[in-house]
């Protein structure tokens, strides 16, 4: 069930009506039922995978909590008898027990994720080692919807329980809902148990403002997805799938179009997700904070797909940075390579691991891996150049000046968009070739010959896109300067507030790219 | 404040529904010029008089039989519920729908559509279904006809289907937002121009000549419905030779007719007897008859109908005579206009493909 299908909208109406008419104590169980129905309708086989993840996370988290309880009770009971060393040894032994359970859970779930998503990638690469095709047959593998998202979300919870940051959920059905909550199953955000659980399991009474805010957010998401992203899709497809025909300046156009398409597609999908939860009074973590207003790549990654970024930071970057071997390596490198290089080694290696994993997480293909590593390279270079930038800013007094900030924003967007071409062309050598052609085969006639009218967009389409992007830009500027636009609109006379929502609805109905004549397009991030 | 918000919300919802209705009226195709076939199904409801003969089927009925000739020569009141590429299930449900309003003495069904056993095109589905008034027949017609990429809800709210027409609106869309002109003469689509029949390609041999199960089952339903209502069903194959009508199909239809005790006439071998001259009586090189051909065909068919069925000659009935005189006047006026355009421009300017805005 695509978010943009009529079936999903009918499903959503059913969920909302049901949610507010059942007794409040049945609200979360009802959501669990609907979430499983949603997943079942996608493919009954998917249930098997999500059940394995849920059951393993439940059992392991309970087991780890029992170990914690046992440890606390033992220490309390034998406080007087145990020496400091004995206590330390006992704790280490118990922690090792927990560690084994955690590893088991991680191996099982990351294993399922890896096997389902990456088996064919591995087979293809093995076969590539042999001349004339390899000996291995590709496998017809089922890839459960949203597996990357729910696996990471659930493993985050299990790790938090291991670390003692989070109490284990005793009710398996509540944990099942945390894993399978249907709006975020498709493309995130990747929620933390501690943030989501209190609002997910709370009883919510109908509140007009909250529901209208949720509906408004859903409409805003559909506007970005259907009016902009899906209207742009044919042009991006045409430009990217015909590289022989479209090089040079056309690659630049494709790069910009894809940047806007992906932004509107992904943020639109997340708006719908967050809006759906909000209509039920459930608060999901924000996943974007005006990423295209970032002045450098590091800032960009703090604003784009925020929940994924913080997940990688908390569960990969920090553990690697402070693990025993890394600390030893850091010590060794400081001693042998000097302070300057030595202190960078753990940061660089941990960042490398994060970006490699980020690339692999996005897809089973070299283009994603190279995309991840390109981000790593650019971030590290910009980090190394920071002193130079500082001197430049000091010398020319440009920091905080509007034209310079606009320059920084445009530079960041262009750089990120260029790196994203790996995702676009999905072929590493081809991406290098096409990005290179922007510099070697640039021809302004691409903009004047009328060729841009033959890439699947009519003049009317360009007008709609232009108007849509201006609206998105305008609301973004308002948000950056003045805060919540919807809150401001809500303070206006009700007729204005509801009128704006109605206008948005009518715009989507008329100008949306949906129905017969349009290819129904799933959200780009559904694939990850 | 809460009450104020509630009232404002209700008002906005009402206004939004009003806007949606208006937008739908504006954006759905009007089919008033160019491809007028999309108006045919809807026009039936505007004709409030009853009919003793009802034709159902595809272009081989609505372009080949002049209803006005049937009236002028025999006093037969008839209507053609035809539409472009009307498939057998479309015809069945259109018949079922028509029987909610009247019970004709004879129903005539053209069998060419039996060659199709699956829905063929969303555009033709739309032209056969959109104009129907809502009833169980329309619901069933939609269900039987939908292509894989179609949604039932798009038929309930055509705005969802036609929303993207905002960029191709023409003057017609604004002029006919609330009312539409008649484009047919009791379902007959007039074309007076001439394009002589040429050579048709040789028929392609088929792997299987068996007519489809679904199509045949709907024809059976048609027979059963007519029997139940005491209506005589006549199966015909119009006299035009292309698309090719295979002998194997003809035999199957003849056997079906015999088994069900209904008439079946294949008019292809009867072209000479009808008096058709395919160098003059067709406007598109032999695919369909022009008005001259349709009048000859109607004259021939009217004689056969009068001879074989107990039809009333309504020409002496004042009420019917008055109603039909208006139709005859409209028919003659359109004919004159088409001849005028042919003489002036050498081709039709306001009709057919040339008139597409």
**Which CA distances in Å does B11 have to A398, A507, B4, B7?**
52, 19, 11, 6
- Residue A124's pLDDT is what? 87
Would you state the structure tokens that stand for residue B128, as one six-digit string? 């056969």
Q: Quick one: which of A27, A318, A357, A278 has its CA closest to A165?
A: A318
CB B299 within 8 A of CB B39: no
Q: Do B163 and A501 touch (CB under 8 A)?
A: no
d(CA A521, CA A226): 9
CB A328 within 8 A of CB A515: no
The pLDDT of residue B1 is above 80: no
Q: Strand B263-266 and strand B106-110: pairing?
A: unpaired
In chain A, the percentage of residues whose pLDDT exceeds 70 is 98
Among the partner-chain residues A461, A509, A516, the one whose CB lies closest to the CB of B149 is: A516
The pLDDT of residue A481 is above 90: yes
Q: Quick one: which of A276, A99, A255 has its CA closest to A185?
A: A276
The SS3 of residue B202 is coil
Residues 6+ apart with CB under 8 A from A239: A246, A250, A251, A253, A254, A257, A455
CB B262 within 8 A of CB B233: yes
Give the model's confidence band at A527: pLDDT under 50 very low, under 70 low, under 90 confident, else very high.
Answer: low
- Residue A186's pLDDT is what? 83
- Residue B154's pLDDT is what? 95
Other beta carbons less than 10 A from residue B266's beta carbon: 18
Q: Quick one: which of A294, A302, A309 has its CA closest to A354?
A: A309
Would you state the structure tokens that stand for residue A72, as one six-digit string? 């606390």
- Residue A75's pLDDT is what? 87
d(CA A451, CA A290): 32
Q: Do B163 and A498 touch (CB under 8 A)?
A: no
The pLDDT of residue A283 is above 90: yes
How many separate helices (H) and strands (E) can be counted in chain A? Answer: 26, 0
d(CA A196, CA A192): 6
Mean pLDDT of B206-228: 96
CB A370 within 8 A of CB A383: no
The pLDDT of residue B284 is above 90: yes
Sequence ranges of the domains in chain A = 6-206, 207-284+467-528, 293-426
CB A502 within 8 A of CB B12: yes
What DSSP letter does each residue of A268-326 carry, written as one string?
HHHHHHHHHHHHTTPPPPP--S-GGG-SSHHHHHHHSSHHHHHHHIIIIIHHHHHSHHH
CB A435 within 8 A of CB A251: yes
Other beta carbons less than 10 A from residue A344's beta carbon: 18
Tell whether B15 lies on the interface with A, counting CB pairs under 8 A: yes
Bridge partners for B80 per DSSP: B55
**Which CA distances in Å does B146 have to A148, B125, B149, B161?**
36, 7, 8, 13
- Please compute, for residue A435, the number of CA atoms within 13 A of its CA located in the half-sphere on the CB side: 21
ipTM of the assembly?
0.88
- Residue B305's pLDDT is what? 97
d(CA A450, CA B285): 39
Give chain A positions within 8 Å (CB) of B20: 506, 509
The SS3 of residue B324 is helix
d(CA A39, CA A169): 22
Min Cα distance A11 → chain B (Å) is 14
Give chain B positions within 8 Å (CB) of A516: 122, 149-150, 154, 161
Site of tokens 């109603």: B323
Nearest chain A residue to B157 by CA distance is: A509
User: Does a cis peptide bond (omega within 30 degrees of 0) precede residue B43?
Assistant: no
- Residue B356's pLDDT is what? 61
Q: Quick one: which of B295, B312, B304 has its CA closest to B105?
A: B312
The pLDDT of residue B327 is above 60: yes
CB B315 within 8 A of CB B75: yes
d(CA B119, CA B109): 18
Residue A416, H or E segment: helix A402-419
Sequence ranges of the domains in chain B = 35-199+206-355
> Among B12, B124, B142, which would you mutate to test the A interface (most chain A Cβ atoms within 10 Å of its Cβ)?
B12
Q: pLDDT averaged over chain A? A: 92
Tens of pLDDT, residue by residue over B149-195, are: 899 999 999 999 999 999 999 999 999 999 999 999 999 999 999 99
Q: Quick one: which of A364, A354, A372 has its CA closest to A420?
A: A372
- Residue A524's pLDDT is what? 63
d(CA A377, CA B144): 58
Mean pLDDT of B31-44: 93
Q: Quick one: which of A169, A191, A194 has its CA closest to A182?
A: A191
d(CA A374, CA A359): 10
What DSSP letter does each residue of A224-248 carry, written as one string?
IIIIIIHHHHHHHHHHHH-TTTS-T
- Residue B130's pLDDT is what? 96
Would you state the structure tokens that stand for residue B114, as one six-digit string? 């039996």
Other beta carbons less than 10 A from residue A24's beta carbon: 12
d(CA A371, CA A367): 6
CB A261 within 8 A of CB A452: no
Q: Quick one: which of B9, B58, B95, B89 has its CA closest to B240?
A: B58
Buried b (16+ CB within 10 A) or exposed e, A122-159: ebeeeeeeeeeeeeeeeeeeebbbbbbbbbbbbbbbbb
CB A456 within 8 A of CB A237: yes
- Residue A169's pLDDT is what? 96
Site of tokens 């500082």: A390
- Residue A519's pLDDT is what? 63
Would you state the structure tokens that stand for residue A204, as one six-digit string? 């919510």
Residue A335, H or E segment: helix A324-337
- Residue A327's pLDDT is what? 87
A interface residues, B as partner, C-beta within 8 Å:
6, 208, 458, 460-461, 493-495, 497-499, 501-502, 505-506, 509-518
Both ends of chain B: CA-CA distance in Å? 52
The SS3 of residue A458 is coil
Tell whether B333 lies on the interface with A, counting CB pairs under 8 A: no
Tell whether B4 lies on the interface with A, counting CB pairs under 8 A: yes
Residues 6+ apart with CB under 8 A from A250: A239, A446, A451
Q: Do A495 and B151 touch (CB under 8 A)?
A: no
Tens of pLDDT, residue by residue over A322-365, are: 888 888 888 888 888 888 888 888 889 999 999 999 999 888 89
For B35-199+206-355, CATH gives 3.40.50.1110
Tens of pLDDT, residue by residue over B63-111, are: 999 999 999 999 999 999 999 999 999 999 999 999 999 999 999 999 9
Q: Quick one: which of A269, A241, A268, A263 has its CA closest to A254?
A: A241
- Residue B207's pLDDT is what? 92
d(CA A108, CA A252): 43
Tell whether B159 lies on the interface with A, counting CB pairs under 8 A: yes
Would you state the structure tokens that stand for residue A195, as one six-digit string? 């943030």
Give chain A positions within 8 Å (CB) of B160: 509, 514-515
Q: How far is CA B227 from the centre of its chain?
A: 23
Q: Quick one: which of A55, A311, A57, A65 has its CA closest to A167?
A: A65
Tens of pLDDT, residue by residue over A218-265, are: 999 999 999 999 999 999 999 999 999 999 999 999 999 999 999 999
- Residue A336's pLDDT is what? 86
CB B33 within 8 A of CB B350: yes
User: How many Cβ contacts (< 8 angstroms) between chains A and B?
Assistant: 60
The SS3 of residue A354 is helix
Would you state the structure tokens that stand for residue B295, as one six-digit string? 């009048």
Nearest chain A residue to B22 by CA distance is: A506
Residue B110, H or E segment: strand B106-110
Would you state the structure tokens that stand for residue A54, as one six-digit string? 């849920």
Tens of pLDDT, residue by residue over A108-159, are: 999 999 999 899 888 988 888 887 777 788 888 888 999 999 999 999 999 9
Would you state the structure tokens that stand for residue B121, as one six-digit string? 């095109």
Sheet with B78-82: list strands edge to edge.
B78-82, B53-57, B106-110, B232-237, B263-266
């Amino acid at each position: 069930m695509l978010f943009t299908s009529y079936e999903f909208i009918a499903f959503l109406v059913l969920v909302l009506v049901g949610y507010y008419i059942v007794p409040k104590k049945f609200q979360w169980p009802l959501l669990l039922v609907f979430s499983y129905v949603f997943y079942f309708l996608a493919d009954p086989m998917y249930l098997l995978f999500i059940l394995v993840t849920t059951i393993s996370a439940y059992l392991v988290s309970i087991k780890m909590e029992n170990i914690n309880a046992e440890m606390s009770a033992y220490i309390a009971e034998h406080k007087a008898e145990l020496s400091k060393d004995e206590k330390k040894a006992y704790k280490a032994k118990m922690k090792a027990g927990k560690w084994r359970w955690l590893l088991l859970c991680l191996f099982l779930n990351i294993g399922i994720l890896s096997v389902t998503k990456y088996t064919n990638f591995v087979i293809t690469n093995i076969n590539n080692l042999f001349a004339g095709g390899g000996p291995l047959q590709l496998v017809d593998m089922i890839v459960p919807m949203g597996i990357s998202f729910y696996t990471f979300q659930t493993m985050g919870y299990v790790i938090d329980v291991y670390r003692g940051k989070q109490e284990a959920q005793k009710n398996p059905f509540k944990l099942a809902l945390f894993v399978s909550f249907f709006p975020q199953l498709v493309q995130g955000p990747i929620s933390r148990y501690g943030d989501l659980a209190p609002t997910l399991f709370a009883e919510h009474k109908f509140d007009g403002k909250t529901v209208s805010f949720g509906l408004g957010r859903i409409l805003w998401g559909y506007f970005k997805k259907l009016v902009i992203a899906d209207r742009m899709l044919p042009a991006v497809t045409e430009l990217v799938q015909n590289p022989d025909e479209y090089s040079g300046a056309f690659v630049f156009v494709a790069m910009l179009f894809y940047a806007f398409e992906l932004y509107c597609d992904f943020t639109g999908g997340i708006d719908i997700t967050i809006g759906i939860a909000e209509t039920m009074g459930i608060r999901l973590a924000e996943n974007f904070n005006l990423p295209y207003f970032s002045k450098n790549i590091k800032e960009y990654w703090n604003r784009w797909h925020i929940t994924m970024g913080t997940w990688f930071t908390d569960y990969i970057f920090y553990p690697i940075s402070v693990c025993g071997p890394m600390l030893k390596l850091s010590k060794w490198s400081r001693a042998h390579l000097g302070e300057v290089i030595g202190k960078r080694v753990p940061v660089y290696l941990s960042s490398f691991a994060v970006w490699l994993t980020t690339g692999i997480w996005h897809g089973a293909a070299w283009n994603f891996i190279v995309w991840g590593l390109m981000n790593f390279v650019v971030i590290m270079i910009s980090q190394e150049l920071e002193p130079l930038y500082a001197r430049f800013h000091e010398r020319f007094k440009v920091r905080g000046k509007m034209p310079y900030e606009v320059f920084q924003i445009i530079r960041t967007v262009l750089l990120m968009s260029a790196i994203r071409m790996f995702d676009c062309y999905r072929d590493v050598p081809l991406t290098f070739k096409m990005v290179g052609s922007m510099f070697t085969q640039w021809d302004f006639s691409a903009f004047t010959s009328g060729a841009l009218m033959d890439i699947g967009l009519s003049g009317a389409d360009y007008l709609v896109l232009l108007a849509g992007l201006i609206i998105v830009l305008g609301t973004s500027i308002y948000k950056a300067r003045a805060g919540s636009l919807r809150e401001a609109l809500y303070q206006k006379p009700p007729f204005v507030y509801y009128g704006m929502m109605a206008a948005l609805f009518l715009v989507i109905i008329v100008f949306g790219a949906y129905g017969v004549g349009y290819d129904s397009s799933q959200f780009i991030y559904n694939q990850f | 404040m809460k009450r104020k918000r509630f009232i404002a919300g209700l008002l906005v919802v009402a206004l939004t529904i009003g806007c949606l209705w208006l937008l739908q009226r504006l954006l759905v195709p009007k089919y008033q010029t160019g491809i007028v076939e999309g108006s045919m199904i809807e026009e039936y409801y505007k004709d409030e008089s009853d009919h003793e003969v009802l034709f159902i089927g595809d272009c081989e009925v609505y372009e080949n039989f002049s209803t006005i000739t049937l009236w002028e020569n025999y006093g037969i009141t008839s209507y053609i519920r035809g539409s472009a590429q009307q498939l057998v299930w479309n015809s069945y449900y259109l018949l079922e729908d028509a029987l909610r309003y009247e019970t004709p003495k004879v129903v005539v069904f053209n069998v060419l559509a039996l060659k199709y056993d699956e829905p063929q095109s969303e555009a033709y589905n739309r032209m056969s279904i959109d104009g129907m008034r809502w009833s169980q027949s329309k619901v069933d017609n939609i269900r039987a006809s939908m292509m894989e990429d179609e949604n039932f809800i798009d038929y309930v709210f055509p705005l969802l289907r036609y929303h993207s027409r905002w960029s191709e609106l023409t003057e017609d869309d604004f002029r006919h937002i609330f009312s539409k002109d008649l484009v047919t003469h009791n379902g007959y689509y007039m074309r007076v121009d001439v394009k002589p029949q040429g050579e048709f390609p040789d028929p392609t041999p088929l792997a299987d000549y068996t007519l489809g199960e679904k199509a045949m089952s709907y024809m059976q339903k048609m027979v059963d419905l007519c029997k139940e209502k005491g209506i005589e069903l006549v199966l015909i194959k119009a006299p035009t030779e292309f698309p090719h009508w295979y002998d194997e199909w003809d035999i199957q239809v003849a056997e079906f007719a015999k088994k069900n005790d209904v008439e079946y006439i294949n008019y292809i071998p009867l072209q000479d007897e009808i008096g058709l001259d395919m160098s003059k009586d067709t406007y598109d090189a032999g695919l369909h008859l022009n008005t001259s051909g349709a009048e000859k065909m109607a004259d021939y068919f009217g004689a056969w109908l009068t001879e074989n069925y107990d039809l009333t000659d309504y020409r002496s009935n004042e009420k019917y005579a008055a109603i039909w005189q208006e139709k005859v006047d409209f028919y003659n006026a359109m004919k004159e206009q088409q001849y005028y355009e042919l003489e002036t421009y050498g081709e039709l300017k306001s009709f057919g493909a040339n008139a597409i805005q």
